[in-house]
A and B are shown apart, each in its own frame.
Chain A
């Protein structure tokens, strides 16, 4: 609301400036001209013109900011990526900056010694519009505050692609971009999901923030159907570390390449459909599939990875209800796994997860909004293994079940305070209390 007020003030100032300029023009009679030199008049006109230009720029900035703020609301707003928060082509400058960040504090119930406070993400984006059809979208992310050989942080390029508008409704992308999957991957800013941390299913099963390098086409039809298709780099199973536990935490997260000297022998293809033709409703599905040996491990030469998911989000009024199911499959791992028997983490054949989430905007007053939520997740990062001889097939992991409840409190456009409590059922993880703050601009 403060943004609207600012906009009104800017408009008001603009009108006053126009009035002054008109009055000056009307009174610029010969007699007045006699009282002031031609040079003085020209200087005044020049000054007013500069003020007018400044006000126009300010108004354009207000419009852009309003657009960004409106996309940061957690409810609704399907398929709006952070990149779209960049100023439109009507902006005074083709260059735009945007970003988001999140800080969190997490205290396990059973072991407070493991309590952590973390600047989990600090992301800055730069957009550049080359012309009315072509633009660059890029994001650079710093995770965990400090990145060095002795610190836990990482510096990553999260997105860096060129988008070209082919027709009014069809866009082409080339570069490093987010895979259109699930509810979070393209909408991963902290103001756009409930809970301090991203949900487990869209972290352990869908490796959000999941990006690949490649080519893609996106189209939007008049009936509210968005479709995506593309070819991209894929996963690299030769990176699988059977001696570590990362593969248990997120099978695909442990072997993604993120376009960091990515092996490109085995490319993948993907497609997604999302329907948003009914106000407040988003329903969609996606699939990503491709080879994953990347020529690095001969026993995995026939290995193939497929991940598919379906999702729905419905935001009637103050309600916000969503659900997602995702399932991954890795084929032809038997020979490789047989060389890794006894290690903690063999390659699973199947993994899956789903969740249901409900939220209600209890308060929506001025700059403040308050939305309690509850979410139930069930997922398994190794629900099945390819059968091995000699009784050496690993036991499948137990399904992990997590209840999360808490609230999002928005207190400024693009800023949210979050708190939640998570119960881990059938898991070695301790229940925990989480507190966080997130922002997007």
Chain B
């Protein structure tokens, strides 16, 4: 299916598709991707890269767009500026959020997520039990990679284009404009919406086809296929990661092979409300009335009245997690040690994570308005404990889990 992504031959068909059908396109394309395994693997058992490792013409244009800073308002920012290949296509700078805008000095609202292993993410939906699932962005509001790409192009504190027309005008003058016209039609730039869509479909094709986005070459992948052994500490960490009574990490970040023997993605695509402490280094948080509530807004609009979902963010893949600090949607924590420690000590030792309030007690879940604090997950292991209880993991066990998480970094040489 990867090899069958539409090219010039289907140009006339796509030209008739309006922007309103974009989510459907994305979903169908994703389904097609899932149907073929959707992933190349050196260590796993997935299908090889499409086209024998050669990117399609569309994906090649997508790669050029991905690295083209001329498509931003100030001509200095591309997708790759924030999504650093050396850091699993996650945020390049170490601060909590990335900076963009005309002077590349406007702070974003959320930490830049990795673009790796996203191609099998389903479009957003509520499952049979009402669990929000899938979608792109940390709040799932985009239904495909192509839809997701709208935001960075047009957001003032990112690539800062005022409109799709501005992006298309820059595309018209890009050095690969002739290739773009050849693939999508000589008149492509006469239809702004269509050209903008084509550019984003090309970006999507690049992210799906290039195995840099899903190499499955971590030590853990080789371990799953019997080509590498984990150290005793890494194995202990895996056991704690899996154990429903200890780390219970696998509850949301499944570590086993998926149906058909496909390598694990370490996400179940759901959402969780962890009560991550407020990060005061984010400019937006200087406003005490501003709260980033994930699924229910403010960037996402359609679930604003679902107060029960306020504070929930997407469960990310843990692949390459060692490369993608800082962590969580607000980049609150700098190390994996801190993250795992937060999980197991959030409730047993809240004073370690939250500021002390006027009443002398830790202000738990201080990045949520009072009315939404009850949404925080306090029922599942390991955050089902109370002050005075023993944490689910000891200090050495936290080290073991972190050792295991370090086996999820791509590029291991068995």
Contacts and interface: CB of A to CB of B under 8 A. Distances in A.
A277 B235 CA distance: 57
A297 B257 contact: yes
B253 to A, nearest CB: 12
B242 interface: yes
Contacts of A344: 244
A140 to B, nearest CB: 28
Interface stretch (A62-70, A159-167, A334-342, A362-370): A334-342
Interface in A98-116: none
B261 A296 contact: yes
Contact of A392 (B239, B246, B254): B239
Nearest to B234: A390
A342 B243 contact: yes
B226 A298 contact: yes
Nearest to A392: B239
A315 interface: no
A224 B238 CA distance: 56
A338 B404 CA distance: 13
Interface size, A (range): 10 to 19
A51 interface: no
Interface string B383-396: 00000000000000
Contacts of B242: 242-243, 340-343
Contacts, number: 54
Contacts of B243: 342-343
A392 B230 CA distance: 13
A27 to B, nearest CB: 79
A388 B229 CA distance: 12
**Which one of B240, B242, B243, B244 has the highest number of Cβ atoms from chain A below 10 Å of its Cβ?**
B242
A30 interface: no
**Which one of B235, B240, B244, B246 has the highest number of Cβ atoms from chain A below 10 Å of its Cβ?**
B235
Mostly helix, strand, loop or mixed at chain A's interface? loop
B22 interface: no
Interface string B219-237: 0000111100010110110
A238 B238 CA distance: 20
Contacts of B236: 390, 392
Interface in A117-149: none
A389 interface: yes
Mostly helix, strand, loop or mixed at chain B's interface? helix
A297 B226 CA distance: 10
B17 to A, nearest CB: 33
B241 interface: yes
A238 B262 CA distance: 12
B45 interface: yes
Interface in A292-342: 296-299, 335, 338-342
Interface in B305-319: none
Interface in B14-37: none
B226 A341 contact: no
A390 B241 CA distance: 15
**Which one of B224, B226, B254 has the highest number of Cβ atoms from chain A below 10 Å of its Cβ?**
B226
A388 B235 CA distance: 10
Contact of B225 (A298, A338, A342): A298
B304 interface: no
A299 B228 CA distance: 12
Contact of B235 (A243, A297, A298, A392): A392
Contacts of A339: 223-224, 238, 256
Contact of B238 (A296, A298, A335, A341): A341
25 contacts: A242-B242, A243-B254, A296-B261, A298-B225, A298-B226, A299-B225, A335-B226, A338-B230, A338-B235, A339-B224, A339-B238, A341-B239, A342-B239, A342-B240, A342-B242, A342-B246, A342-B250, A343-B242, A343-B243, A343-B256, A388-B235, A389-B232, A389-B235, A390-B233, A392-B239
Interface of B: 45, 223-226, 230, 232-233, 235-236, 238-244, 246-247, 250, 254, 256-257, 261
Given A297-B261, A390-B235, 7 more contacts: A242-B256, A299-B226, A339-B224, A342-B247, A389-B232, A390-B233, A390-B239
